[in-house]
């Protein structure tokens, strides 16, 4: 099994160095690819100084995040692709642990892990939750979209995720119409049509929370609209075995409005918070889903996706 780490970058060479170092210094060998979206800083000179340790491809014009991911994967020769944005980085044993779990579950097409959220100085702020029991477990394909829909199985951001290159290619890659706004989640839900999933209860990835992150350029209302679009796509893919347990899609939309209302409140945007709350506050199912997501994720995941197979 061969891994290719695909690092996307644009005008952030100071951060890129950390990402590249984390890929080059993995405990098992892997291919490292830097896909550069036409940076105007010293990115090209830096990457070329690394010689044959890194494969470098630079867009001649700026094409956006999704197109840059696709370019990187097209350059890859690995069986599995590990995604990595330039402002994030990997634990040194990330690829080794993922490869170990994938070897025990050859039907898997996507693998994710716990991530630490860190500030610009690398200080840990929080971690994504562990799910289930054991260090690693698999989720059968028939259960994946149900888990994604109710946010019981969050694959997370690119730094957390690896996928089969074959499955990625069958989906035609990332959608530039969603550029940097749920383009990753849209890809995960399509990849998950082709096999099982693996989740590692180990912190193997580090995601930087800072004002320069790509998704900060989108308004809350834009992110809400895209979230609704993604949920509609996932809803259509839920396996028949879970259909009798599904909330109505309108209740899920109200839950999303409720969720993003609290994001507005956190940002001290009280008028928009009240407007969104008014649209969702009287939906019992919206509150039930919200509370399940916030407080009961682990318990609900274990009780609903009982066919999970603990790997180790």
Q: What is the pLDDT of residues 231-277, one digit of tens each?
A: 999 999 999 999 988 888 888 888 888 776 766 767 677 676 666 66
244 in the same domain as 146: no
Confidence of residue 306 (pLDDT cuts 50, 70, 90): very low
CA 272 – CA 294 distance, rounded (Å): 21
Given 198, 216, 234, the domain boundary residue is: 216
pLDDT at 289 over 80: no
Extract the tokens encoding 244: 């009798």
202 in the same domain as 124: yes
Are 147 and 185 a contacting pair, CB within 8 Å? no
151 in the same domain as 36: yes
Given 158, 186, 216, the domain boundary residue is: 216
188 in the same domain as 112: yes
CA 35 – CA 24 distance, rounded (Å): 15
pLDDT at 305 over 60: no
CA 53 – CA 33 distance, rounded (Å): 9
Give the strand pairing for 309-310 and 136-139.
Answer: antiparallel
- Give me the number of domains the chain comprises: 2
206 in the same domain as 98: yes
pLDDT at 225 over 70: yes
Q: Which domain holds residue 77?
A: 3-216
What is the average per-residue pLDDT within 148-152?
Answer: 86
**Which range among 154-163, 281-290, 292-301 shows the weakest confidence by mean pLDDT?**
292-301
244 in the same domain as 205: no
pLDDT digits (tens, 9 = 90+) for 67-110: 999 999 999 999 999 999 999 999 999 999 999 999 999 999 99
246 in the same domain as 235: yes
pLDDT at 42: 97
pLDDT at 279: 62
pLDDT at 280: 59
Q: Residue 191's domain is classified under what CATH number?
A: 3.90.550.10
242 in the same domain as 188: no
pLDDT at 300 over 60: no
pLDDT at 193 over 90: yes
Farthest CA pair distance, the chain: 60
Are 28 and 99 a contacting pair, CB within 8 Å? yes
281 in the same domain as 156: no
Extract the tokens encoding 154: 């969050």
225 in the same domain as 205: no
Are 99 and 4 a contacting pair, CB within 8 Å? no
210 in the same domain as 241: no
E strand map for the chain: 3-9, 31-36, 55-58, 80-85, 89-90, 108-118, 124-127, 136-139, 162-164, 196-208, 309-310
230 in the same domain as 194: no
What is the average per-residue pLDDT within 154-180?
Answer: 95
Question: Mean pLDDT across the chain, nearest whole number?
Answer: 88
Q: What percent of the chain has pLDDT over 90?
A: 65
Are 200 and 112 a contacting pair, CB within 8 Å? yes
Given 165, 196, 216, the domain boundary residue is: 216
């Amino acid at each position: 099994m061969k891994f290719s780490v695909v690092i996307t970058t644009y005008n952030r060479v100071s951060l890129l160095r950390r990402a590249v170092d984390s890929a080059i210094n993995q405990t098992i060998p892997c291919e490292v690819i830097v896909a550069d979206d036409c940076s105007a800083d010293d990115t090209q000179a830096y990457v070329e100084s690394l010689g044959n340790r890194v494969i470098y491809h630079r867009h001649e014009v700026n094409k956006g995040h999704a197109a840059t991911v696709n370019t990187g994967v097209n350059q890859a020769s690995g069986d599995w692709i590990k995604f990595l944005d330039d402002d994030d980085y990997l634990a040194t044993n990330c690829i080794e642990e993922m490869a170990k779990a994938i070897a025990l579950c050859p039907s898997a097409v996507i693998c994710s892990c716990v991530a630490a959220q860190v500030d610009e100085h690398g200080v840990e702020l929080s971690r994504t939750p562990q799910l289930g029991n054991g260090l690693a477990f698999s989720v059968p394909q028939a259960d994946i979209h149900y888990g994604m829909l109710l946010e019981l199985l969050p694959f997370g951001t690119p730094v957390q995720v690896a996928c089969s290159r074959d499955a990625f290619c069958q989906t035609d890659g990332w959608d530039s119409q969603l550029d940097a706004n749920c383009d990753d989640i849209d890809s995960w839900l399509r990849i998950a049509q082709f096999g099982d999933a693996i989740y590692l209860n180990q912190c193997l990835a580090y995601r930087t929370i800072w004002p320069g992150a790509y998704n900060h350029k989108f308004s809350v209302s834009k992110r809400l609209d895209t979230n609704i679009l993604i949920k509609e796509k996932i809803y259509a893919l839920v396996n028949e075995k879970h259909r009798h347990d599904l909330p109505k899609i309108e209740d899920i939309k109200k839950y999303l409005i409720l969720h993003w209302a609290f994001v507005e409140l956190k940002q001290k945007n009280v008028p928009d918070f009240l407007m969104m709350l008014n649209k969702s506050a009287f939906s019992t199912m919206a509150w039930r889903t919200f509370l399940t997501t916030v407080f009961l994720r682990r318990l609900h995941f274990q009780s609903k996706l009982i066919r999970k197979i603990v790997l180790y």
